[in-house]
Amino acid sequence: MSKKFLYSLMAALVLTAIVLTACGAPATQAPAATEAPAATEAPAATEAPAATEAPAAKEQVEVFSWWTGGGEAAGLEAMIKVFNAEYPDIEFINAAVAGGAGTNARAVLATRLQAGEPPDSWQGHAGQELIGTYVAGGQIEPLNALYEEEGWLDVMPETLIPLISDSGNIYSVPVNIHRANVLWYNPTILKENNIEVPTTMEEWFAAMDKLTAAGVTPLALGEQWTQMHLLETVLLGSLGAEAYNGLWDGTTDWSGPEVKAALDNYAKILNYTNSDAASLSWQDAAQLVVNGDAAFNVMGDWAEGYFRELGKVPMTDYGWAPVPGSVGVFQFLSDSFTLAVNAPHPEGAKAWLKIAGSKAGQEAFNPVKGSICARTDCDKTLFGEYLQSAMDDWASNVVVGSLTHGVVANDSWKSEIDTALGLFIADKNVETFQAALAAACASSGPCK
Restricted to residues 115-154, the positions that interact with ligand GAL (CB under 6 A) are 125
Q: Does 178 bind ligand GAL (CB under 6 A)?
A: yes
Residues 71, 100, 132, 401: which binds ligand GAL (CB under 6 A)? 100
Judged by CB, which is closer to ligand GAL: 243, or 333?
333
| Least distance (Å) between residue 282 CB and ligand GAL | 6
CB of residue 441 to ligand GAL, shortest distance in Å? 22
According to the binding rule CB under 6 A, does residue 308 interact with ligand GAL?
Answer: no
Q: Between 417 and 447, whose beta carbon lies closer to ligand GAL? A: 417
3-state DSSP assignment of residue 184: strand
Strand partners of residue 174: 336
127 close to 159: Cβ distance less than 8 angstroms: no
Residue pair 164/401 in contact (Cβ under 8 Å)? The answer is no
> Taking Cα atoms as reference points, which of 164, 159, 170, 155 lies closest to residue 357?
155
| Strand 182-185 with 319-322, pairing | antiparallel
Q: Which is nearer to ligand GAL, 189 or 220 (CB)?
A: 220
- Work out which of 134, 244, 302, 433 binds ligand GAL, going by CB under 6 A: 302
- 219 touches ligand GAL by CB under 6 A: no
Element (H, E) at 94: strand 90-94
Q: Does 102 bind ligand GAL (CB under 6 A)?
A: yes
Coil, strand or helix at 359: helix
In the DSSP assignment, the letter for residue 163 is G
Nearest approach in angstroms of CB 333 to ligand GAL is 5
Q: Show the binding pattern over residues 396-415: x = contacts ligand GAL (CB under 6 A), - = does not.
A: ---------x----------
Q: Which is nearer to ligand GAL, 127 or 237 (CB)?
A: 127
Round to whole Å and give the CA distance between 304 and 267: 27
Nearer to ligand GAL, 101 or 340 (CB): 101
Size of the site for ligand GAL (CB under 6 A): 14
Question: What is the C-alpha radius of gyration for the chain, rounded to an integer number of angstroms?
Answer: 22
Taking CB atoms, the residue at the shortest distance from ligand GAL is: 100
CA–CA gap between residue 188 and residue 306 (Å, rounded) = 19
Pick 220 or 333: Cβ nearer ligand GAL: 333
Residues 289 and 358 sit within 8 Å (Cβ to Cβ): no
Least Cα distance to 354 among 86, 141, 142, 70 occurs for: 86
CA 218 to chain centre: 26
Q: Are strands 329-333 and 176-179 parallel, antiparallel or unpaired?
A: antiparallel
Q: Specify the residue, 333 or 355, whose C-beta has the smaller distance to ligand GAL.
A: 333
Residues 76, 217: Cα–Cα separation, whole Å: 33
Q: Is 374 an interacting residue with respect to ligand GAL (CB under 6 A)?
A: no
Query: Which region among 6-14, 99-107, 380-388, 415-423 touches ligand GAL (by CB under 6 A)?
Result: 99-107
3-class DSSP state of 296? strand
> x-or-dash pattern for ligand GAL, window 57-96, by CB under 6 A?
---------xx----x------------------------
Q: Which is nearer to ligand GAL, 70 or 250 (CB)?
A: 70
Q: Which residues bind ligand GAL (CB under 6 A)?
A: 66-67, 72, 100-102, 125, 178, 282, 300, 302, 333, 335, 405
